[in-house]
Amino acid sequence: MGLKVCKFGGSSVADFERIRAVASRIADMKYNGDDVVMVVSAMGDTTDDLLALSAQISPKNNKRELDFLMATGEQQSAAYMAMMLNSLDVPALSMTCFQAGIGCDGEYGRASLSFIDPARIQDEISKGKVVVVAGFQGIMPNGDVATLGRGGSDTSAIALAAALGADECLIFTDVDGVYTTDPRIVKTASKLEGITHEEMLELAALGAQVMNPRAVECALQNGVSFEVRNSHNREKGTLVTSADRLEGTRVISGISRDNNVAKIAIFDVPDEPGIAGKIFRAIASKGVVVDMVIQSAVRGKSNDIAFTVTRDQLERAVNVVNSLVDSLGASGMSYGKGVSKVSVVGAGVMNPGVAGDVFQTMADNGINIEMISTSEIKISMIIEASCAERAVAALHRQFRLENVH
Q: Which residues bind its own copies (CB under 8 A)?
A: 16, 19, 50, 53-54, 56-58, 61-62, 64-66, 68-69, 71-72, 75-76, 78-80, 82-84, 86-87, 93-94, 96, 98-99, 120, 139, 142-145
Q: Please give the C-alpha separations between residue 344 and each of 261, 350, 358, 361, in angstroms, as whole numbers.
A: 17, 11, 8, 12
CB of 36 to its own copies, least distance (A): 17
Taking the least distance from each CB to its own copies, the nearer of 25 and 278 is: 25
d(CA 79, CA 95): 8
Beta bridge pairs of residue 371: 382
Closer to its own copies by CB, 96 or 256: give it. 96
Q: Which is nearer to its own copies, 42 or 264 (CB)?
A: 42
Full strand arrangement of the beta sheet holding 238-241: 92-95, 130-134, 35-40, 3-8, 168-173, 226-230, 238-241, 194-196
Rounded to a whole number of angstroms, the minimum distance from the CB of residue 69 to its own copies is 4
Task: Between 42 and 349, name the residue whose CB sits nearer to its own copies.
Answer: 42
Question: How near is the Cβ of 391 to its own copies at its closest, in Å?
Answer: 45
Residues 191/401, Cβ–Cβ less than 8 Å: no
Single-letter residue type at 313: Q
Nearest approach, Cβ of residue 126 and its own copies (Å)? 15
The 10 Å Cβ neighbour count of residue 219 is 28
C-beta of 79: minimal distance to its own copies in Å? 4
Nearer to its own copies, 86 or 365 (CB): 86
Dist CA 83 CA 20 (whole Å): 10
- Is the CB of residue 78 less than 8 Å from the CB of residue 13? no
- Residue 16 CB, nearest distance to its own copies (Å)? 6
The CA radius of gyration of the chain, in Å to the nearest whole number, is: 23
| Residue whose C-alpha is closest to residue 191's, from 217, 229, 225, 162 | 229
Using the minimum distance from each CB to its own copies, give the nearer residue, 51 or 385: 51
Looking at the Cβ atoms of 5 and 82, the one nearer to its own copies is: 82
- Minimum Å distance from CB 343 to its own copies? 40
CA distance 215 to 152: 7
